[in-house]
Amino acid sequence: MSILSGLGARARGLFSDTKGPWGPTGGDEPPPDDGGRGPWGEPPKRGRRSSPSPSGNIASFEEFLRRSKARFEGDGGGGGGFPGRPDRSIFMWALLALLLGWLVFTTFHSIAPEQRGVVTRFGRYYTTLGPGVSLTFPSPIDRVQKIDVENIRVENLPSQPDAMMLTGDQNILDIDYSVRWNIRDAELFLFELADPQETIRQVAESAMRAVIARVSLRDAMGDRRGEIEGQVMESVQRVLDGYRSGVLVQGVAIKRADPPEAVNAAFKEVSAAQQDAQRYVSQASAYAQQLTFKAEGEAGAFDKVYEQYKLAPDVTRRRMYYETMEEVLRRVDKTIIEAPGVMPYLPLPQPQKAQPPAEQGQ
């Protein structure tokens, strides 16, 4: 308890330093009635919440003066005798502890790495605290608002889920996109915009609409998405800077850019046509390749044969003739008719069966 009492004395010293803001209130307070109890009976200076209790046992004003005098020059920390009535004393201690805690709480500010602390002194912007532990004046003088500046917020747009956009070629685009942002200047963010989040959403919607209205449907759905995102991001940042919003746009992402449901079938037809087209061309290419190989093969074969043929044309020619004829006639049914003008009895399918032995030939 003696440690605590020493602390109390120190705390009292602290109060007299920072009396400024509460100074005017201190005087109205009646002193505690159990005199001679040492400094611990003293109510906190900012004690307007503690209503004075009926103070019947203060004999006179002189006694009050004497007592308070004794208290102020009294042996501060050495109060050996504790108040006889513990309820009162506990109340005082609690109040003191509360005061102390509140003081510590409002003067020391630990700012996390992703945070900034915006300090206002009597409402006026004073400074912005960086990460780490910082000291300010206690609460009614300085007020610290901690703001998470690093955290990246994501706004998913458009606000109405079924919203469409008109493209530059007067087509309709069903688009979903998001804007990522964080805070660049905490103080601007706090003080300049009435509703920062709603502002960002509205500005982003307007910027996206403006950019989409300049490009064609095909571009919006296809290759130029990245370019569109960049333009929107730049435009949103420019407008927000115009409001001095303290917001930094980290990025705009088009999550989906499709034709509206109502015309989806026609768009699918286009991709079907594209596949058909691919098929046509690849079929033709395959044909072309086959044909080329065939031609090259046949020509190559002819060339080889011709090379040999040139060496002995007559013999080769006869040889080839006989070989071919042999090959051909060996496998077919043959009829040799001697007399010119005598017609064979046709049709032949019937005699065919009997023919192989009938006539000969090689």
Among residues 105 and 280, whose Cβ is nearest to another protein? 280
* CA separation, residue 224 to residues 176, 220, 232 (Å): 16, 6, 12
For residue 191, the minimal CB distance to another protein (Å) is 4
Closer residue to another protein, CB minimum distance, 5 or 128 = 128
For residue 11, the minimal CB distance to another protein (Å) is 23
Q: Minimum CB separation from another protein for residue 28, in Å?
A: 4
Strand 142-148, strand 115-121: pairing: antiparallel
For residue 110, the minimal CB distance to another protein (Å) is 23
Residue placing its CB nearer to another protein in the complex, 3 or 307: 307
Among residues 108 and 122, whose Cβ is nearest to another protein? 122
In DSSP terms, 131 is beta-bridged to: none
Q: Which is nearer to another protein, 61 or 113 (CB)?
A: 61
CB of 92 to another protein, least distance (A): 18
Instruction: Tell the residue number behind the tokens 């502002």, with chain if given.
Output: 199
User: Hunting for tokens 């061309």 — which residue is that?
Assistant: 281
CB 118 within 8 A of CB 186: yes
Distance CA 42, CA 74 (A): 12
Q: Which residue's CB is nearer to another protein, number 95 or number 97?
A: 95
d(CA 168, CA 63): 91
Nearby residues of 258 by Cβ (< 8 Å), 6 or more positions away: 173, 174, 175, 221, 264
CB 96 within 8 A of CB 8: yes
| Among 228, 206, 232, 222, residue whose Cα is nearest residue 259 | 222
- Distance in Å, CB of 76 to another protein, minimum: 26
CB of 93 to another protein, least distance (A): 22
- Measured distance CA(8)–CA(76) in Å, rounded: 9
| Closer residue to another protein in complex, CB, 11/29 | 29
At residue 153, the 3 state secondary structure works out as strand
- Return the number of other C-beta atoms located less than 10 Å from residue 228's C-beta: 21
Whether 235 contacts 166, CB under 8 Å: no
193 vs 257, which CB is nearer to another protein?
193
Give CA angle at 163 (158, 167), nearest 5°.
95
Please, what is the minimum distance in Å from the beta carbon of residue 155 to another protein? 14
